[in-house]
Structure 1
Amino acid sequence: MNSPPVTELSDRARDIFRLVVESYIDSGQPVGSRTISKLSVLNLSPASIRNVMQDLEEAGLLSSPHTSAGRMPTETGLRLFVDGMMQVAEPSAAERAAIESRLSATGPIEEALTAATAALSGLSACAGLVLVPKREPVLRQFGFVPLSERQALAVLVGADGSVENRVVELPRGMTPAALNEAANYMSAVLTGQTLSEARVTVEREITQGRAALDAASGELIARGLALWSEDGAQRPVLIVRGQANLIDANAAEDLERVRQLLDELEGKEEIARLLDSARSGAATRIFIGSENKLFSLSGSSVIAAPYRGQDGRVVGVVGVIGPTRLNYARVVPMVDFTAQTLSRLIG
């Protein structure tokens, strides 16, 4: 259902809607007309407020879990609130100091990224997420293990000790001796290069006829490097911290939703793809509930912001995931500040 623009709501409806959303975000419970009458300075009776809330429900902005219960914002209502009514405040001095202190320690950038997720998780009472920049391994050693006449297991060892295995299709006429020749060539010529650098080197040497390889070996090397590069680009690295924060006092009433969310967090690749879609944005993005099919069952929200490297290009995304009733006005600037701090640290 398409919601009406904020400008089409009357002042009274807008004030009541804002109070319902803010009260729901604060308590996690449906909000009744009597509660709104005590909160507001509108001098309206509970009956009058109830009528306005009914109109907001018919507009698709509020819903009622039970006939006698109060009302809570729908995902459509939350989107309207976030886009058109939310008053965002800067992180407090204490929040900024907490984030900066966690990220200021010297060490590998991975440690800073892990610290960023922990800081966001602790401050937001959500789970912290960070999409790590895709880093190509520096190559140290290669090997090929024959599996059949048409397939071999290609083994790549990185300078950091990481080991990658891939099954590659062998060109016709590839002999065990040619496999060894290809492996020896790769180890001798390509050691110390990244995958992308190695691909350029191989293409240049083959084109210029300088590679001491037959056609089958050259084809195998090019095929193996292409496979490794493609797989690496499609395998984002995601760090998640603070899943326990998702099981709050209100979660006892909705354990199935929490279980579903925790299951979704186990599927890091899907979460990483969602965060990766925030790389193209210039600012913080907010995904609410079933707006993304990944969270259609758990009803969760993600707030994510890109962070940049030395050349100003986006290299990763940092954010949080939590229930749709999370405090957007507080968490959005917190995520944005963390992304800015990471950008300064990396840049």
Structure 2
Amino acid sequence: MLDTRAEILLKTLIERYIIEGQPVGSRTLARQAGLELSPATVRNVMADLEDMGLVSSPHTSAGRIPTEQGYRVFVDTLLTVKPLHSSEVLKLEQGMLADQDPQHLIEHTSHLLSTICQLAGIVMAPRREEQPAFLHIDFVALTGRRILVILVTRDGQVHNRIIQAEREYSPADLVQAANYFNETYAGVSMDEVKRSLLKEILQASDDVHRVMQLAAKMARAALDAEGQPDELVVSGESHLMNIPELGDVRKLRKLFDAFSTKRDLLHLLDRSMRAGGVKIFIGSESGYDALTDYSLVTAPYSVDGRVVGTLGVIGPTRMAYEQVISIVDITARLLSGALSSGNRPSHLESSDH
């Protein structure tokens, strides 16, 4: 537990370090904290805070900087979140509603976060609890051994894909293949269809199951060509290269590799989604080596009241938490409104952290 004097000095030190990025000396703290304390008294308090692991002294300076634990105390107990001005919220809302397509909204939100915060913006695409069920498929012969595959799912989505066949097939072959497929998979989830197709391709023989293999190969090719939206959309990575303390190329390469593979980041965002509310990982708290020098501020978003994904920003541990938390919180709520079928939010106020 910190006494009031220690809390004020720690808060002042961290706020100044966030702004300037330089170690803060005792004389500067004595002036900035608004306390009638001598530099010697401030030094004694700083020594106590250092013993507690909340601040540290870089070898190159007599001043002190916050540690991960210091940032954690600051975020949990000393931070005053700054609500966004109504004009800023309106600007966010107008930008969010500019594009109605869900995938474009996800991409736009990631870009919006990176632009406003001047950090890397990340959005985890919605996780669907239930995959749509297969309804119907048609194969239509085109010229040059090309086949048009028309696939319809139970939720009304129609997917048209052109695939290149290994040889010419007659209209009768294609009708027979489509009939087999429709009879076998009607009402089956698309994930299960894909798994079954892979097994059928491996097990079927041309002699015994020629029609089955034809249907499986063409449907599998169409589904593979269809692709899926990115599970994680990242924008503004270049902003991180402009931050002095993140200038180590090796550290940046680790982070950019994490952006590329996405697995660890998706795991973190999944944890945040389950936790609910604004979640902050500071440095090594994430448990991933690539994020040791960074902080991640996240918030879940929902569709029609059901939490489906997470968004946030990645930046240095020396980030303006009081502003970033508000931006992430409001953006999550605006994205929830934009993706939901009900009335969209207007002139939201930031919730307390």
Work out the CA distance in 2 between the residues paired with 1:258 and 1:70: 27
Matched to 2:3, the amino acid is: S
Cα pair 1:99 1:116 within 8 Å, conserved: no
- What is the 5 A alignment of 1:142-181? 159-161=158-160
- What is the 5 A alignment of 1:34-45? 34-45=27-38
What displacement does 1:84 show? Answer: 1.2
Change (3 A) 1:281 1:298: closer
Normalised by the size of structure 2, how large is the TM-score?
A: 0.71
The answer as to 2:166 corresponding to 1:185 is: no
Cα pair 1:103 1:112 within 8 Å, conserved: yes
Give the gaps of 5 or more residues in structure 2.
140-148, 152-157, 164-174, 195-208, 341-353
* Alignment-derived partner of residue 349 in structure 2: none
Match of 2:299, SS state, is: strand
Cα pair 1:137 1:160 within 8 Å, conserved: no
Match of 2:266 among 272, 290, 295: 272
The answer as to 2:341 corresponding to 1:345 is: no
Match of 2:79, SS state, is: coil
Match of 1:280, SS state, is: helix
* Alignment-derived partner of residue 100 in structure 1: 93
* Alignment-derived partner of residue 145 in structure 2: none
Change (3 A) 1:280 1:71: same
Matched to 2:96, the amino acid is: L
Change (3 A) 1:183 1:75: farther
Change (3 A) 1:18 1:190: same
CA RMSD between the two structures: 3.9
* Alignment-derived partner of residue 299 in structure 2: 305
What displacement does 1:249 show? Answer: 4.2
Match of 2:111, SS state, is: helix
Normalised by the size of structure 1, how large is the TM-score?
A: 0.72
Percentage identity across paired residues of the two chains: 38
Work out the CA distance in 1 between the residues paired with 2:339 and 2:15: 36
What displacement does 1:108 show? Answer: 1.0
Work out the CA distance in 2 between the residues paired with 1:34 and 1:9: 21
Matched to 1:130, the amino acid is: V
Change (3 A) 1:292 1:106: closer
Matched to 2:283, the amino acid is: G
Matched to 1:335, the amino acid is: V
Match of 2:118 among 118, 125, 129: 125
- What is the 5 A alignment of 1:10-49? 10-49=3-42
The answer as to 2:294 corresponding to 1:290 is: no
What displacement does 1:331 show? Answer: 0.7
* Alignment-derived partner of residue 248 in structure 1: 242
What displacement does 1:244 show? Answer: 1.0
The answer as to 2:257 corresponding to 1:263 is: yes
Work out the CA distance in 1 between the residues paired with 2:162 and 2:231: 16
Matched to 2:190, the amino acid is: L
Change (3 A) 1:54 1:257: farther
**How many residues are paired up?**
293
Give the gaps of 5 or more residues in structure 1.
1-7, 144-155, 165-179, 200-213
| Deviations 1:262-298 (CA, angstroms, capped at 9, x unpaired) | 2222221221121111111231111111011224564
Change (3 A) 1:134 1:249: closer
